[in-house]
């Protein structure tokens, strides 16, 4: 399967929509690097290779229509939904959450029981999904820390390959995670856009994060 990355950027379940010059190249390169790293750590992904700057060749997966979120620091929906999480507070333990991919219903939170009772995933798969997500968290968190970034949270999507093995699919980049500068707390991800930042500011953040994550200038 070939995945084409796009320059479009969306928020608020697709209500807000813009184009960021060369964002596709940034996100494809970051995704490729992070998927390679996960594979090296023995986490199965769909990644095969980056064929062109914005075209990724991947294994075909039957996707589970669920967004698996993992959080280390309280932010975003967690802070909006519950009174006891304060923005920026370190969580006592990494938190794994499942959300149904359904923009019209604003991606409702799914319990493990919802996942199993609906047949979205088996009990064994739910257990594996959590294990994969926590392992991705541990690998990604260490990687970001070495680059001066705090991994606040991220989202992955998982699918089954032809053997039924669960693999991390979709994308993993600046659109799908919150990363903050370790020293200054500065936001280095899509929240700049979600919070109404100017488009040139959003673009600059993507190019800067490319440099931080990949260790080379975005040319």
Residues in contact with ligand C5P by CB under 6 A are 67, 69, 76-78, 153-155, 175-178, 190
SS (H, E, C) 52-71: ECCEEEECCCEECCEEEEEE
Q: Which residue is nearest to ligand C5P (CB)?
A: 76
What is the spatial distance between Cα 192 and Cα 212, in angstroms, rounded to a whole number?
A: 17
For ligand C5P, give the closer residue by CB, 129 or 177: 177
How far is CA 40 from its chain centroid? 18
Residue 178 CB, nearest approach to ligand C5P (Å)? 4
- Check if the beta carbon of residue 30 is closer than 8 Å to that of residue 24: no
Residue 164 CB, nearest approach to ligand C5P (Å)? 25
Query: For the chain, how far is it from start to end, CA to CA, in angstroms?
Result: 27
Helices in 123-176 by DSSP H: which ranges? 123-146
Residue 162 CB, nearest approach to ligand C5P (Å)? 26
Residue 103 CB, nearest approach to ligand C5P (Å)? 8
What is the spatial distance between Cα 206 and Cα 202, in angstroms, rounded to a whole number?
A: 6
Write the CA distances from 113 to 107, 117, 123, integer angstroms.
17, 6, 9
Residue 149 CB, nearest approach to ligand C5P (Å)? 13
């Amino acid at each position: 399967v070939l995945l084409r990355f796009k320059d479009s950027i969306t928020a608020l379940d697709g209500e807000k929509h813009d184009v960021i010059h060369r964002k596709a190249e940034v996100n494809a390169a970051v995704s490729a690097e992070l998927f390679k790293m996960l594979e090296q750590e023995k986490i199965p992904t769909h990644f095969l290779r980056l064929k062109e700057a914005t075209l990724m060749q991947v294994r075909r997966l039957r996707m589970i229509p669920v967004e698996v979120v993992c959080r280390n620091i309280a932010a975003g929906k967690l802070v909006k939904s519950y009174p006891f999480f304060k923005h920026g507070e370190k969580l006592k333990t990494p938190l794994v959450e499942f959300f149904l991919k359904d923009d019209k219903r604003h991606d409702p939170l799914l319990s493990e029981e919802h996942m199993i009772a609906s047949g979205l995933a088996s009990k064994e798969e739910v257990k594996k999904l959590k294990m994969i997500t926590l392992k991705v968290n541990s690998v990604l968190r260490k990687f970001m820390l070495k680059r001066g970034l705090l991994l606040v949270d991220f989202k992955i999507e998982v699918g089954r390959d032809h053997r039924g093995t669960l693999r991390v699919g979709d994308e993993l980049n600046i659109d799908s995670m919150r990363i903050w500068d370790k020293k200054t707390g500065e936001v280095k991800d899509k929240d700049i856009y979600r919070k109404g930042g100017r488009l040139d500011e959003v673009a600059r953040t993507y190019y800067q994060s490319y440099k931080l994550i990949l260790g080379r200038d975005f040319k």
